[in-house]
Amino acid sequence: KSINDLILGRYYDLVDKRAEEEKYEKKRLEEIGRQDALMAARLSKSEINGPVMRARTVLAKRKKKREAGTLAKTGFNKEMVLSTELSDILGISRTSRPQVVKQLWIYIKDNELQNPDDKRQIMCDEKLQKLFKKSMCNFCLEIFVIFSY
């Protein structure tokens, strides 16, 4: 009889333990459901009012200051060897593309080669005729010819 009492006692303990685990599991699932509902409410509120973002600390990057007069090191600003026709006009043998255009405009304005009626047109003198192979040209359209030299 004592063995039966021990077995029954153990059985009832296991049943009680299983019931407690089920209660705990049920409470845990209810808590998860409640947290999901809160998260859904927060998300729907953020969709209405815009995204909710946490403020982030921004670290300012220090930029290196470039010395005055120095240009960015790009292929556009790279010094190139000029052709003889172009170096005869500009008086220099090496310079960058932007400087070529600036020097050509200086040459054109110093020699008054712009057409007074249409300032876009250039009346070529002997040196410019060697370069552009025309007596009058539209400088903006002919600029690509210069860079082939």
Using one digit for the tens of pLDDT, what is the confidence trace for 111-128?
A: 998 888 888 888 888 888
* Residue 54: partners with Cβ closer than 8 Å, 6 or more residues away: none
Tell me phi and psi for residue 139, to 5 degrees: -55, -40
Using one digit for the tens of pLDDT, what is the confidence trace for 53-76?
A: 666 777 777 777 767 666 667 777
Question: Is the pLDDT confidence value at 52 over 60?
Answer: no
Band (pLDDT 50/70/90 cuts) for residue 31 is very high
Residue-range domain boundaries for the chain: 1-54, 80-146
* 80/149 Cα distance (integer angstroms): 10
Residue with tokens 């172009």: 86
* Residue 92: partners with Cβ closer than 8 Å, 6 or more residues away: 82, 103
Mean pLDDT computed over 41-53: 70
Angstrom CA distances, 64 to 61, 67, 75, stand at 9, 9, 21
Fold topology of 80-146: MDM2 (1.10.245)
Output the pTM of the full model. Answer: 0.50
* 116/113 Cα distance (integer angstroms): 9
Question: Is the pLDDT confidence value at 88 over 80?
Answer: yes
- C-alpha 95: how far from its chain's center? 30
